[in-house]
Structure 1
Amino acid sequence: MRPRLLTTKRIVIKIGTSSLMNSDGTVDYQQFDRLAYVLSVLRNHGKEIVLVSSGAIGVGMNKLGLKERPQTIPEQQAIAAVGQSEMMNIYSRFFSHYNQMVAQILMTRDIVEFPESYENAVNAFEELLQMGIIPIVNENDTVAVDELDHETKFGDNDRLSSIVSVVIHADLLIMLSDVEGFFDKNPMIHSDAKIFHTIHSITKSDMDLADGTGTSFGTGGMTTKLKAARYLLQNDQEMILAKAEDPTLIFSVLKGEKIGTYFTNQD
């Protein structure tokens, strides 16, 4: 039992591209629907919800009928622009089934590094949450590229979700992944892998274990998730890493059930 989770009110949910797409590269509409249902129910129960969603490139590739991700930056920017619009259309459509309004927030790292931009971002989040609207956040992949002279890119949405959690003083970040949590070895390869149920600090040995490179659709692996958890622990905040396959497990997480890996400073 994890009693602190029973009182969480402000929650950031992060979901990756691989959890929103089918293995053949098509959009998993059922997953979008399940996620919209769960988050709408939470909002109806008084929770303040922010969704950090990857998927612009994956959805864009599906929309454009592309089977392989283009290598050039301009092509990726164009696909992200198409995909972000289509992804928000999908989210809006499914959330509307549950009478829940959503809003789009696209972020680049300079937003949280300049005080005035930081304040503007905070104000936008706070107003939307006060209005009962669920902000859907993504990195602005159309303009945030590594080749720009100034550092505007978060790098991945694992990091972005942890930064958003700090910006809005979230009680909890629930990071939905393609694995059930953080294991002592890769559970996709080793059947005897054991999950770490609770972690209080991220050690060098933990980082050495987390050397995955992610999927063909996404950009993150376990390393980026541990870095996000470490950032939250440094700010005395908490994170759950759990499997994205069935988003209704979020209900069980918030009941304090022992699901996934729980990163917390509390004993």
Structure 2
Amino acid sequence: MNRESLKDCSRVVIKIGTNSIMKSPTKVDYHKIDRLAFVCSTLQQEGKEVILVSSGAVGVGASALKMNKYPSSIAEQQALASVGQSALMNLYSRFFQHYGQYVGQILMTRDIIDYPNAYHNCKTAINSLLNKKIIPIINENDAVSVDELGHCTKFGENDTLSAVVTELIDADILIIMSDVDGLYTANPQTDDSASLIPFVSEINEEILSMAGGTGSIFSTGGMETKLKAAEYVMALGKSMVITSALNPSIVFSILGGEECGTLFKKLEKQHQ
């Protein structure tokens, strides 16, 4: 699959997971956050519009409070997310300002999808930030999100959230940065014969069967949620890439048309 078209992407959503900004459950990866800030700021300075969807509130909260496992109750988890979200945005603000770039926080709940006014207001807020050359940093509002008794305000994981954001602001591409290089034919951690799949044009049962389990104790997504996000994005006629977050500068290569990670994109129909 030729990736030359990715060079034309001007509005980019980048999603980074908890595993990718934490060295361990109690240690934040400051170098990773710095490199991410550098990449996003550089893209912005080159004229692209960048939206960052960042997980990590609970992990950063656990780090701040010196914890090594989730608390058991929902209320305690939400309190942890509240502490962590504040600390996470403080980190992002400091690192982005080092590169002369301002950021703005937007916390979302799933019910914006169901209420046109909320959907419109959220879209307007993001576009207003972009028009001011400010990078929106989006996360789920874990401190108040619930998913019980039919009252669903919870995305559950940020792979889905990032796909919704891609639709919301009509982005050209979603890049999901993860602790894996892309989609493999099998779990590369347990199967030496597993090989990276560079291109997927359709999410079918065969592709879904390649999805493994969830990530670390502080992450809620896994390959299955990423494939669901890919299916959502492809239905919009957009592109999505799953790639490694080991070196965030790989985003430059992806947007330069190089073959990195797994590209999800519908094949264009050939005219007869």
Determine the C-alpha separation between the residues in 2 that align with 1:100 and 1:107. 22
CA contact (8 A) 2:111 2:152 kept: yes
Structure 2 counterpart SS, 1:105: strand
Determine the C-alpha separation between the residues in 2 that align with 1:237 and 1:200. 11
Determine the C-alpha separation between the residues in 2 that align with 1:2 and 1:145. 40
C-alpha displacement at 1:24, in angstroms?
A: 5.2
Q: Which AA in structure 2 matches 1:262?
A: L
C-alpha displacement at 1:235, in angstroms?
A: 1.1
CA contact (8 A) 1:40 1:98 kept: yes
Structure 1 counterpart SS, 2:133: coil
Q: Which AA in structure 2 matches 1:181?
A: G
Distance 1:53 1:24, change over 3 A: closer
CA contact (8 A) 1:38 1:247 kept: yes
C-alpha displacement at 1:146, in angstroms?
A: 2.3
Determine the C-alpha separation between the residues in 1 that align with 2:212 and 2:45. 39
1:99-248 paired onto structure 2 within 5 Å: 99-147=100-148, 149-248=150-249
CA contact (8 A) 2:163 2:174 kept: yes
TM-score by length of 1: 0.98
Runs of 4 or more off by more than 4 Å in structure 1? Answer: none
Distance 1:38 1:110, change over 3 A: same
C-alpha displacement at 1:213, in angstroms?
A: 2.0
Could you report, residue by residue, the CA deviation over 1:144-180 in whole angstroms, capped at 9, with x for unpaired residues?
0223641101111000000000010000000001000
Determine the C-alpha separation between the residues in 1 that align with 2:82 and 2:218. 16
Q: Which AA in structure 2 matches 1:137?
A: I
Determine the C-alpha separation between the residues in 2 that align with 1:98 and 1:257. 26
Instruction: Report what 1:38 is aligned to.
Output: 39
Equivalenced residue count is 267
Determine the C-alpha separation between the residues in 2 that align with 1:51 and 1:112. 19
Q: Which AA in structure 2 matches 1:245?
A: L
Could you report, residue by residue, the CA deviation over 1:167-219 in whole angstroms, capped at 9, with x for unpaired residues?
10000000001000001000111122111111011001211221322221100
Q: Which consecutive unaligned segments of at least 5 residues does structure 1 have?
A: none
Residues 1:258 and 2:224 aligned together:
no
Q: Which AA in structure 2 matches 1:107?
A: M
Determine the C-alpha separation between the residues in 2 that align with 1:42 and 1:36. 10
Distance 1:66 1:56, change over 3 A: same
TM-score by length of 2: 0.96
Determine the C-alpha separation between the residues in 2 that align with 1:146 and 1:117. 18
C-alpha displacement at 1:103, in angstroms?
A: 0.3
Determine the C-alpha separation between the residues in 1 that align with 2:165 and 2:208. 22
Q: Which AA in structure 1 matches 2:57?
A: A
Instruction: Report what 2:73 is aligned to.
Output: 72
Determine the C-alpha separation between the residues in 2 that align with 1:5 and 1:25. 37
Q: Which AA in structure 1 matches 2:102?
A: M
Determine the C-alpha separation between the residues in 1 that align with 2:113 and 2:83. 25
1:45-60 paired onto structure 2 within 5 Å: 45-60=46-61
Structure 2 counterpart SS, 1:22: strand
Determine the C-alpha separation between the residues in 2 that align with 1:113 and 1:146. 14
CA contact (8 A) 2:129 2:136 kept: yes
Determine the C-alpha separation between the residues in 2 that align with 1:94 and 1:252. 22
Instruction: Report what 1:90 is aligned to.
Output: 91
Percent identical across equivalent pairs? 50
Determine the C-alpha separation between the residues in 2 that align with 1:79 and 1:24. 13
Q: Which AA in structure 1 matches 2:45?
A: N
